[in-house]
Amino acid sequence: MNYLWIALSFIILAPIEGGLLTGIDRILSARFQGRVGPPLLQPFYDVFKLLQKENTIVTRSQNFYILGFLIFIIITGVLFFCGVDILLVIFVLTLASIFLVLGGYSTHSPYSYIGSERELILMMSYEPMVLLTAIGIYMATGSFSLADIISSGTPVIAYIPGVFIGFVYIILIKFRKSPFDLSMSHHAHQEVVRGIATEFNGRALAMIEISHWYENIFLLGVVYLFFAFNPILGLFMTLVVYFLSIVVDNVSARFKWQLVFKSSWLVAVIFGIINIVVLYVLKMGWK
């Protein structure tokens, strides 16, 4: 019963929070650029408007993949907040992302296609660090179960600060923030137009947007994990990370995919692996 409430509240609250955060993002970004910016609720207005648009498609199957994307992103979040196995959550997230990529491919449109290919490169770039995060959290708490990780009260961040830095690096990719917005971004870059989303409009585009909100809340949830021993600090840090991503978004120019790939693996090696190996050696020493 408890799980049902968690699931329901995630399904209802996450898009509201996600939308609000996007609204804040847009206002802050505008201020950085010396503009006033839209009202806080603008992202919601946009999505409602998309929902009313005519449904035009290139191929019938394309929206099916987007539906899969949305559903599995929601499942990812629900599983995460229900406190199941952290690796399972990661695998479902991957599955969801694959649905999005396949949606882009199915249209046989050059811009969607290049977006999908780039999205795959991004996935390949961040995936090791995501798994390293799970490994690190296990090393720190001795459990894969998110429920146990939270209730253990372990100051996870104290054990794996390096992993945290690595995770923050790749969370920028997941947030689709510059310098990592190669596959689809809110600002249509001329060589990719709108990337994967090029051929999607109306309801499907709204679904992509809402999925993104769900995804953001889930990702901030992972940030919270590092500080879960102190809920207030945890919430504060999620906001810090989100703010940081907005700043980085506004001050950096887009990378080439080569640089994204190399730098994320390098970060995973330097911060992730070294941290984990050091922790492993220390633990062996204690035994």
Partner 1 sequence: MFTIGLLIVLPLVVALILLLTKGDTLRNAIVKVAASVLAVASIYLLAGNIGMEVPKKYNLDFEMINYLIILAELFLTAIICWQGVKYKKFGVVALAVAQFVFTVYIEFFLHKIHIENNLVLDNLSIIMALLIGIIGSLICVFALGYMKNYHHHKNVKDRSNYFFFILFVFLSAMFGLIFSNNLIWILFFWEITTFCSFLLIGYTRTSEAKQNAFRALFMNLIGGFAFIIAIYILHNMGIAELDKLLAINPMLIALPIALISIAGITKSAQIPFSSWLLGAMVAPTPVSALLHSSTMVKAGVYILIRLSPIMEGTLVGSVVSLLGAITFFIASCIAVSQQNVKKILAYSTIANLGLIVTCAGVGTYQAVWTAIFLTIFHAVAKSLLFLCVGTIEHGIDSLDVEDMDGLVMKMPKVAAFLLVGIAGMFIAPFGMLISKWAALETLISVNPILAIIVAFGSAVTLFFWTKWMGKIIMIIHPVELNEEFVSKDEWFTLGTLSVLTVIVCITFPWISSGMVDPYTQHIYQHTFNMDRGNILIMLGMLALIMLLPLRLLFQGKEIRHVSAYLCGSNITENSEIYQASQSFHGAAGTVKELGLNNYYLQEYFGEDKYAKVGTIIGVLLIIILLGVTFIR
DSSP codes of every residue in 72-91? HHHHHHHHHHHT-BHHHHHH
Q: What are the structure tokens assigned to 61, written together?
A: 């199957």
CB of 46 or CB of 85, closer to partner 1: 85
- The reply on whether position 144 binds partner 1 by CB under 8 A is yes
- The reply on whether position 112 binds partner 1 by CB under 8 A is yes
- The reply on whether position 244 binds partner 1 by CB under 8 A is no
CB 177 within 8 A of CB 248: yes
Among 50, 102, 222, 223, binds partner 1 (CB under 8 A): 102
- What contacts 72, CB < 8 A, 6 or more positions away? 92, 93, 95, 96, 99
- The reply on whether position 140 binds partner 1 by CB under 8 A is no
Q: In Å, how far are 140, 213, 235 from 220, measured between CA atoms?
A: 19, 11, 9
Amino acid at 162: G
| Separation of alpha carbons 238 and 248, rounded Å | 15
| Separation of alpha carbons 254 and 117, rounded Å | 17
Residues 174-213: x where in contact with partner 1 by CB under 8 A, - otherwise, as a string: -------------------x----xx--------------
- The reply on whether position 7 binds partner 1 by CB under 8 A is no
CB of 30 or CB of 71, closer to partner 1: 71
Residues that bind partner 1 in the complex, under the rule CB under 8 A: 54-61, 63-64, 67-68, 71, 75, 79, 84-85, 87-88, 91-92, 94-95, 98, 101-102, 104-113, 116-117, 120-121, 123-124, 127-128, 131-132, 134-135, 138-139, 144, 193, 198-199, 258, 261, 265, 268, 272-273, 276-277, 280
